[in-house]
């Protein structure tokens, strides 16, 4: 199977490399991330000259770009995937975008004879490298069945969330709400512990195995304690996801109280030159209010 891969950023690069490792023929392209494209070509991929060129040489094209406008541009823009698509091409969009946009893009693709599935991921760069992402799929079940094994090369879990395009992205929005609120809760709680004079490292060791423990806590609290805000997952991408969650929630009349609060924290970070920090940087919002920096040594 010839797999086109469009978008070779933090996530796309290791995902494409895992497909190559598993023996898939990959044709890769990214108009901006030249060093990453070179690295994927070095690992064995064919170099695409444009998104259309990739589509013309592939049975299925995976897109892994930031947001809805980027997916639209990659598919329908000049020299886009739709322009180069040969008959029977399928697209798997693994970007995290608004569910309604997924649906609209899939409908537009269907008019051109292209079938589409949304398959956003959770797990971040380390799990993209290990091939252990959680992959949430939306779209016709037969399309899911066709690509489940291939997606399994990039993910530890591959779940069909619904037959409707956008079902994967709705699942991803739920994931992003829980992650954002969990990070904010960790920042709030560990600042509290330190200000009360208890070593936050000891608090972490004491509670991580109990009910409060979580994958988010294990991944993000050590970063907070090390004051390591290198992404990982950028604040600006999480703003994008929560915007999509709020928009979706508002259109359905679903209450988004905690999401709104954390979105304001992320927006503050963006306004204070921290948009490219890891989202564990939410801690900085609390530190600014509290006037104290979380630190292993300070307690």
Annotated catalytic sites, by residue?
172
User: Which of these segments, 24-32, 39-47, 214-222, 258-266, binds ligand NAD (CB under 6 A)?
Assistant: 24-32
Nearer to ligand NAD, 168 or 200 (CB): 168
User: 49: which DSSP letter?
Assistant: S
Of 132 and 290, which CB lies nearer to ligand NAD in the complex structure?
A: 132
DSSP string, 123-141: SHHHHHHHT-EEEEEES-H
How far, in Å, are 2, 63, 85, 94, 278 from residue 118 at the CA level? 19, 10, 18, 6, 25
Helix (H) or strand (E) holding 4: strand 2-6
Residue 280, interface with ligand NAD (CB under 6 A)?
no
Nearer to ligand NAD, 77 or 162 (CB): 77
Q: Which stretch binds ligand NAD (CB under 6 A): 10-18, 151-159, 193-201, 264-272?
A: 10-18
Rounded distance between C-alpha atoms, residue 203 and residue 208, angstroms: 8
| Residue with nearest beta carbon to ligand NAD | 9
CA 181-132-49 angle, 5° bins: 100
Q: In angstroms, how far is the first alpha carbon of the chain from the final one?
A: 56
| Contact positions with ligand NAD (CB under 6 A) in 82-111 | 95-96
Measured from the CB atom, is 194 or 244 closer to ligand NAD? 244
Instruction: Tally helices (H) and strands (E) across the chain.
Output: 14, 9
CA distances from 176 to 37, 120, 124 (A): 28, 11, 12
28 Cβ contact partners less than 8 Å away, ≥ 6 residues apart: 4, 5, 6, 8, 16, 37, 40, 41, 45, 46, 47, 48, 54
Gyration radius of the chain over CA positions: 20
C-beta of 243 vs 290, nearer to ligand NAD = 243
| Rounded CA separation 295/194 (Å) | 8
By CB under 6 A, name the one of 22, 33, 185, 246 that touches ligand NAD: 33
Considering only residues 4, 84, 99, 124, which one is a binding residue for ligand NAD as defined by CB under 6 A?
124
Stretch touching ligand NAD by CB under 6 A, among 7-15, 16-24, 98-106, 222-230: 7-15
Among the listed residues 22, 59, 70, 192, the single contact to ligand NAD using CB under 6 A:
70
Q: Does 173 bind ligand NAD (CB under 6 A)?
A: no
- Using rule CB under 6 A, residue 125 touches ligand NAD: yes
Nearer to ligand NAD, 74 or 294 (CB): 74
By CB under 6 A, is residue 197 in contact with ligand NAD?
Answer: no
Q: How far apart (Å, rounded) are the C-alpha atoms in residues 210 and 219?
A: 16
The size of the interface with ligand NAD (CB under 6 A), counted in residues, is: 27
44 DSSP assignment: T
Residues 20, 24, 26, 51: which binds ligand NAD (CB under 6 A)?
51
Please state the closest distance from residue 104 (CB atom) to ligand NAD, in A.
17
Figure out which of the listed residues 11, 116, 119, 137 binds ligand NAD, where binding follows CB under 6 A: 11
Residues within the interface to ligand NAD (CB under 6 A):
6-12, 30-33, 51, 64-66, 70, 73-74, 95-96, 121-122, 124-125, 232-233, 237
């Amino acid at each position: 199977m010839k797999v086109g891969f469009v978008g070779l950023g933090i996530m796309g690069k290791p995902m494409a490399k895992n497909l190559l490792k598993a023996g898939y023929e990959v044709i890769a392209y990214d108009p901006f991330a030249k060093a990453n494209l070179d690295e994927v070509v070095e690992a064995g991929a064919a170099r695409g000259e444009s998104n259309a060129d990739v589509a013309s040489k592939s049975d299925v094209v995976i897109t892994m770009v930031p947001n809805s406008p980027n997916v639209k541009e990659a598919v329908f823009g000049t020299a886009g995937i739709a322009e180069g698509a040969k008959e029977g091409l399928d697209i798997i969009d693994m970007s995290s975008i608004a569910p309604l946009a997924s649906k609209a893009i899939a409908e537009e693709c269907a008019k051109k004879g292209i079938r589409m599935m949304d398959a956003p991921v959770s797990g971040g760069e380390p799990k993209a490298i290990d091939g252990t992402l959680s992959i949430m799929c939306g779209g016709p079940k037969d399309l899911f069945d066709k690509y489940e094994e291939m997606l399994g090369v990039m993910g530890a879990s591959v779940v069909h969330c619904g037959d409707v395009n956008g079902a994967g992205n709705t699942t991803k929005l739920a994931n992003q709400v829980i992650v954002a609120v969990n990070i904010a809760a960790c920042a709030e709680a560990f600042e509290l512990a330190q200000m009360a004079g208890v070593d936050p490292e000891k608090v972490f060791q004491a509670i991580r195995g109990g009910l409060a423990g979580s994958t988010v806590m294990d991944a993000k609290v050590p970063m907070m304690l090390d004051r390591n805000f290198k992404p990982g997952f950028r604040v600006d991408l999480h703003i994008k996801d929560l915007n999509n969650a709020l928009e979706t929630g508002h259109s359905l009349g679903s209450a988004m109280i905690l999401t709104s609060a954390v979105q304001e924290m992320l927006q503050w970070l963006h306004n204070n030159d921290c948009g490219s920090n890891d989202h564990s940087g939410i801690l900085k919002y609390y530190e600014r209010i509290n006037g104290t920096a979380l630190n292993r040594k300070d307690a």
